[in-house]
Amino acid sequence: MLSTIGLHGRYLNRTTLFGLDLHRPWTLLVLTGCGVALLLAASRADLVAAADAERRRIERDLHDGTQQRLVSLAMNLGITRASTTGLPDSAREAIENAHDEAKQALSELRDFVRGLHPAVLDDLGLDAALSGVTARCPVPVRLRTDLPQRLPDQIEQVAYFVVSEALTNAVKHAEASTVEADVRQVPSFSGRGRLRVVVRDDGRGGARPDRGSGLRGLAQRVASVDGTLHLDSPLGGPTTIRVELPCEL
């Protein structure tokens, strides 16, 4: 027998929604108004959380497996390089090249693993993670933060990747000489507060989301947590990326 359950959005929360069996054939769930929006937001938040969990798993696997083997390889090649004598020049050069390549591969893998999910973000929070990524940037970065409390994991991760991707674009594409990053919590009309991220570089400008996957992926990541992204990048620069994220999911 078909039964219809009518629920108004304002009475729904995540527990109410997921306590219902939406797959049973005799149950028709009718959601009106903000109920539909809440269901979609809850599903989207779960998808984001699942993707983040998968990134963490890949990061752990690479760190505990491939990265450790590369460390061992680089150490053994370094020992061989330092201790072996009397070899022909060609053999010594081959060992030196292999050692240098192993160290370079290890460095690139560490950067890749850090890009998947920086462990410092879990351990010490967004402020410390941003300090680390800006310190590693090859151009000077002026970082200002005002983060009085920890935020949900997904929000901190999105904010981190906004700054990280903006720095990458500033160095690789804009050829900037300086970058400024400002990350702070600000009040909002809803009372929950917003996290505002502003990154500005003095590069050549002309950045467009449709010209590469980096900015397009960044916009998708911001939208996945119901945030907003605004890009201002006239030809000749400067480029400013302004992002606002909810402080609650």
* DSSP β-bridge partners for residue 196: 184, 244
Which two three-digit tokens encode residue 120? 């410092």
- Average pLDDT on 183-196 reads 85
Please give the helix or strand (H or E) that residue 4 lies within, else none: strand 3-8
pLDDT at 230 (0 to 100): 95
Q: What is the pLDDT of residues 98-148, one digit of tens each?
A: 999 988 888 878 777 666 667 788 888 999 999 999 998 999 999 999 999
Classify residue 95 as exposed, middle or buried by CB count within 10 Å of its CB (0-12, 13-18, 19+).
Answer: middle
Instruction: Using alpha carbons, select from 97, 157, 100, 152 the residue that is nearest to residue 133.
Output: 157
Task: Identify whether the C-beta of residue 204 lies closer than 8 Å to the C-beta of residue 237.
Answer: yes
Contacts of 47 (CB under 8 A, 6+ apart): 224
- Whole-model pTM: value is 0.64
- What b/e string do you get for 150-174 counting C-beta neighbours within 10 Å, with b at 16 or more? ebbbbbbbbbbbbbbbbbebbbebb
Q: In this structure, what is the dihedral angle of CA atoms 32, 247, 219, 232, given to the nearest 10 degrees?
A: 120
Q: What is the pLDDT of residues 28-40, one digit of tens each?
A: 444 455 555 555 5
Respond yes or no on whether the N-terminal peptide bond of residue 118 is cis (omega within 30° of 0): no
pLDDT at 26 (0 to 100): 41
Task: Identify whether the C-beta of residue 196 lies closer than 8 Å to the C-beta of residue 203.
Answer: no
Q: Is pLDDT of 17 > 50?
A: no
